[in-house]
Amino acid sequence: MYDNIERELKLLVDEKAYNELLRSYDFHNPIIQTNTYFDTDNQDVKKQHGAVRIRTIQGKKIFTLKIRKDEYTHYEFEKEINTENINEINDPEILNWFDQYQIPKNLNPIASFTTLRNVYEFENGELCLDKTVYNHKIDYEIEYEYTSDHDGIHFFNSILEKYGLKWIKNCPSKIARAMND
């Protein structure tokens, strides 16, 4: 992420392609992350083209607010917090983000799932392989996240073509997939 901008290209793959990719790069230290997403009963966050989540990694809790800028770019604001209860957050910076993007404060958990993430770093971005377990299904996703400005689409497709894959547009987000579970 650079300057609160997250640019990522995402593609769902089958288990076979996931395993081939996993063997093709020297991934180190896979992490398990639990993601809990929040919204109002009226889906006010979704209506803002946003997402609010608390991600837990090895006991560390990270608050994230994402607001969609375009097809594969988001404004992303993150901060470590000390609670899993969204309604207990009283950090002035986070509350300012809520005000700035008209995010209501009466949020409820709407989805929770666990992802095993493997990351491989390139000069201008990160390749992430995610195996996500929802309530009743498992899916596999490859993601290329920019860390600096460059032609990421061409770069990502050059990786994918070795596996007979091509990125055309982003697959639905994990939260969207969780809500369809």
Q: What confidence tens digit (pLDDT) does each residue in 97-132 have?
A: 999 999 988 899 999 999 999 999 999 999 999 999
pLDDT at 1: 40
Q: What is the DSSP string of the chain?
A: -BTTEEEEEEEEE-HHHHHHHHHHS--EEEEEEEEEEEE-TT-HHHHTTEEEEEEEETTEEEEEEEEEEETTEEEEEEEEES-S-GGG---HHHHHHHHHTT--S--EEEEEEEEEEEEEE-SSEEEEEEEEE-SS-EEEEEEEEESSSS-HHHHHHHHHGGGT---SSPPPPHHHHHHT-
pLDDT at 157: 98
Which residues, given as ranges, of the chain have pLDDT below 70? 1-3, 181
pTM of the model: 0.90
Domains of the chain (ranges, CATH numbers): 5-179 (2.40.320.10)
pLDDT at 70: 86
pLDDT at 28: 83
